[in-house]
Chains A and B, each alone.
Chain A
Amino acid sequence: MSLLSEETDVFAAAPGQRCAVLFLARWRTPRPGDLARIAPALYGEFDALRAAGWRLSLDRVLAGEEPPDPDQVPDADTDAPTVYATGFSHDVDLVGLFEAPTPTAALAGTLRLEQAGWERLFRTEWLIGPREFLPVVGPASRRAEDDWGFFALWKWNSAWQAASAEERRAYDLECDAAFSADVRDGAAIAGRYRLDGASQWDHIGAWRVPGPSMVDAAMHEHGRVADFKFTTSRHYLGRRTPFEDVLRAGERQDSPKEGTAHTP
């Protein structure tokens, strides 16, 4: 797939075929009574996907192909499946971004996860699409210390569709100024993925951020440079949560005898 818009000073085109696997998930109610049986099957599937080249956390996606920096304090276990708890202020409980090696792998993998038991736990909207731009992680990012995720689904509106190439370039430059400020303020941005081949959205941008106030300030800045004049967007803000903890919370709700269920 080609780029939907040109590279900018902030964003460089990504080579290859890697593919976003974004999920918007709601806990099923009541939660399944056999979580302890579902969990190992799911973890088996996660292991198989990881071995096949999947990245199962936003942090791992942001790290990209780079080998670990020996001078950096090691991140949290970025290989562990990780989601973002969004239920405190959104209509979905969990949002997360995995990355598959190809669209074919992405589509097959979502089905395998669903069949391994994910479907018993959650009602999920999976959104898949190829990577367009590489991650942008500046020196202000505090890496593992920044435990919030910001997920922006967006699509261009009819005004953008009707705009000239010159108007679009000027708009990209304005937005680039805001994205530069975001990176300076600590946002680590997982590039950009096209979602238009299999959703109603054009793109997803996923950020690791210090917290909600940084995002609020960033949205003011994006509003100031008129980012939103050409787009419709939907934003999710969530707290980083290892998938293991999600399952554990499910077990606690499920069973009055806390600690009796097995966790992987």
Chain B
Amino acid sequence: MSDVVWLHHSLPRTAWYDLQPEQRARRERDFEEQRRASEREGGTRNGRFHVRGQSDWSHVEIWSFPSPEHAFDHWSRLVAAGYTACFEFSNQVGLADPATRPA
């Protein structure tokens, strides 16, 4: 059951732009490791989209999770891996609308 959507808006901090390519690649590997762990825990990636032209943010990621606890755990592990040192963020968690459940 994936009844919780989790929206993650991100914007790189200056520190992210200042990383050397190999440092950035290492960070990206660290973050990707956490994302894969979240998929093993039941999360589903529904895409990462560029929204730089229409918002305060650079990208939005859309995830589904079995529960808000799963979403918070995913985020907490990313934070512990140093994600927020590189990106500003705004997150939202939402329940599927009972009136319009996805097929």
Contacts and interface: CB of A to CB of B under 8 A. Distances in A.
A161 B4 contact: no
A6 to B, nearest CB: 13
13 contacts: A4-B79, A104-B69, A107-B4, A107-B93, A107-B94, A162-B85, A197-B71, A197-B72, A197-B75, A197-B91, A198-B91, A199-B90, A199-B92
Given A199-B90, A199-B91, A158 B14 contact: yes
Contacts of A17: 69
A196 B79 contact: yes
Contact of A102 (B69, B79, B80, B85): B69
Nearest to B15: A162
Contacts of A108: 95
Interface of A: 1-2, 4, 17, 102-104, 106-108, 111, 128-130, 156, 158, 161-162, 194, 196-200
A112 to B, nearest CB: 10
Contacts of B14: 158
What class of interface size applies to chain B in its complex with A?
Answer: 20 to 34
Contacts of A1: 72-73, 75-76
Interface of B: 4, 6, 13-15, 67-69, 71-73, 75-76, 79-80, 84-85, 88-95
B68 A196 contact: no
A-B interface, 8 closest residue pairs, ranked by CB to CB distance from nearest: A200-B90, A197-B72, A103-B68, A1-B76, A161-B85, A198-B93, A197-B75, A107-B68
Given A4-B79, A108-B95, 6 more contacts: A103-B72, A104-B69, A158-B14, A197-B75, A197-B93, A200-B91
Given A1-B73, A107-B4, A197-B72, A161 B13 contact: yes
Contacts, number: 66
A1 to B, nearest CB: 4
Nearest to B93: A198
B68 A158 contact: no
Contacts of B72: 1, 103, 129-130, 194, 197-198
A103 B69 contact: yes
A130 B67 CA distance: 14
Contacts of B89: 196, 200
Contacts of A198: 6, 68, 71-72, 91-93
B84 A104 contact: no
A2 B93 contact: no
Nearest to A106: B68
Contacts of B6: 198
Contacts of A2: 76, 80
A156 B93 CA distance: 21
A162 B69 CA distance: 28
Nearest to B84: A161
A209 B94 CA distance: 33
B68 A128 contact: yes
B68 A104 contact: yes
Contacts of B85: 161-162
Nearest to A163: B85
Contacts of B75: 1, 196-197
A16 to B, nearest CB: 12
